[in-house]
Structure 1
């Protein structure tokens, strides 16, 4: 596409903002076809939006064809600027919301492995209360590893996170919710399961172990220090699969493993000695910037009665 030396972009309308949102989604989905479901429009319509945007900007934003979808250098810059523009618009809307009594905008929630379905988290009840009080707020929820949740909250890419409580980072607020006791388990077909009452620390130390792959707090570190850490698996489901293979031992929350112990698939190893407590906490970013959707959700969390 030829570029005019004297081309100047004029006012940006709602239509261009819509095109930029389509462009951003296409980039993040990795192509036109992959973005159809998320945008809920057909590929030909998406292509038309991108072509019109390119004409409006007088730039070629991407290459599409048999070789696949790829951004041009200009497209990469426009994508980065689009992110900043849309984030600024969202910040503006949040600020206006804080000057009005009604709540609109969005609330971005990130949850670590299995927390949303744990009845002790009371996540469904909190969402019920929240939607009743802020029905116009759009909820954006997703699951991510703990370290990624911390990073996104700190970078203001998410509003509230739910994570295993293992450390306190500067710049974050913490609200303790409940605690898990984690025990060391092996599968019923693991050699250590044959005589669990007579196994020694040396037996445990020689067995291959799987762990979360994160820097743990002191109590967890003391339990992992003498293990043969041979595999990493952050998510509990993956860690459990490794343990059930019969080749690894590993720590799991008692509540998570309980039914597998009862049906004979898992065996706890030296439970009087091999355990640690792991808290679950909600986190938010320390900031002076008002954000009513986040503040209401945090307030509801504080009002919930959690069992320590």
Structure 2
């Protein structure tokens, strides 16, 4: 038994000395992207390089992390544990560069902002502008993600704040609504209703829809689902996407009637790429929330930004 204990200790020491952090970083990308090809695009490596990195990591740990073949991609139980630990390591490493120099009164650091796509807000623009003027040494990175992914990353401490749609706030997250978006119904040039005069709501009763996965009763976009139920729209949902650009693309090429934020749809209407359908005043507004995690260790820069943002938003609401 003593030999086994020493062997296990040797393994731990060898890992601490020789494990390449980049292998864990690559593994995180593979898990979060759900595959090798998407991970390769995300972190700008070739797919063979991704495969080689995973093989090296599995050999270093002596564990099988991912089961995959032509049809399946599954993270093993061991892989899920390693992923959780890798996330913890990533969170700590990303904060090393933010340690202040002795005697330096300037606030340094980096903010990871996670935004839902195509947000338009004068308040948000002013917040970022004024914060940068006051704290010019704090740098920013902005990732555009689905609302579900934004919440997931903020929960895991992989972002400073997020701006996203949300229904229920998870226990770890705090949030305040800051923007309201109205959604409208649109069709593309090849659709039979495109630029037809006198289109009524009843004309949409049997049309197919393109929408977001969360457009269902109980989902983030449930007011849209409720609206369709109330108006007895019986067409199928023929396509869904978490990506607004893809919703617009599918609507524009005529796959069905698309649900699009009105401030975005109006620009496409001006270019004759989309046509607005009733109700022309849109559907119930959906709130975009400012979210942050109150239970993770944050840097000075992150603390300063969250405090500044909350005071700024409270003043703007008065």
| TM more than 0.5 | yes
Q: SS state of the match for residue 192, structure 1?
A: coil
Q: SS state of the match for residue 20, structure 2?
A: helix
Shift in Å at residue 284 of structure 1?
0.9
1:151 maps onto 2:120 in alignment: no
1:112 to 110, 116, 131: 116
Contact 2:182 2:284 in 1 (8 A): yes
Q: Which residue of 2 aligns with 1:242?
A: 250
Q: Which residue of 1 aligns with 2:268?
A: 260
Q: SS state of the match for residue 206, structure 1?
A: coil
Q: Which residue of 1 aligns with 2:205?
A: 205
Q: SS state of the match for residue 202, structure 2?
A: helix
Q: Which residue of 1 aligns with 2:33?
A: none
Cα RMSD of the aligned pairs, angstroms, is: 4.8
* TM-score using structure 1 length: 0.68
Alignment partners' CA distance in 2, 1:285 and 1:81:
17
* TM-score using structure 2 length: 0.67
Q: SS state of the match for residue 137, structure 2?
A: coil
- In structure 2, the gaps of 5 or more residues are 31-35
Q: Which residue of 1 aligns with 2:181?
A: 180
- In structure 1, the gaps of 5 or more residues are none
Deviations along 1:67-109, one digit per CA (max 9) or x if unpaired, are 9xx9xx9x95994485166257459969977xx9665565332
Shift in Å at residue 113 of structure 1?
1.5
Greater C-alpha radius of gyration: 1
Q: SS state of the match for residue 292, structure 2?
A: strand
Alignment partners' CA distance in 2, 1:136 and 1:179:
28
What does 1:1-308 correspond to in 2, within 5 Å?
6-7=6-7, 8-9=9-10, 16=17, 19-28=19-28, 34=40, 76=79, 79-80=82-83, 83=86, 86-87=89-90, 89-90=92-93, 103=107, 106-115=110-119, 118=120, 120=122, 122-123=124-125, 126=128, 129-130=131-132, 133=135, 135=137, 139-164=140-165, 166-171=166-171, 172-197=173-198, 199-214=199-214, 215-216=219-220, 219-225=223-229, 226-227=232-233, 228-230=235-237, 231-272=239-280, 274-287=282-295, 289=297, 291-302=299-310, 303=312
Shift in Å at residue 175 of structure 1?
2.7
Contact 2:112 2:141 in 1 (8 A): yes
**Number of residue-to-residue matches in the alignment:** 283
Alignment partners' CA distance in 1, 2:254 and 2:296:
51
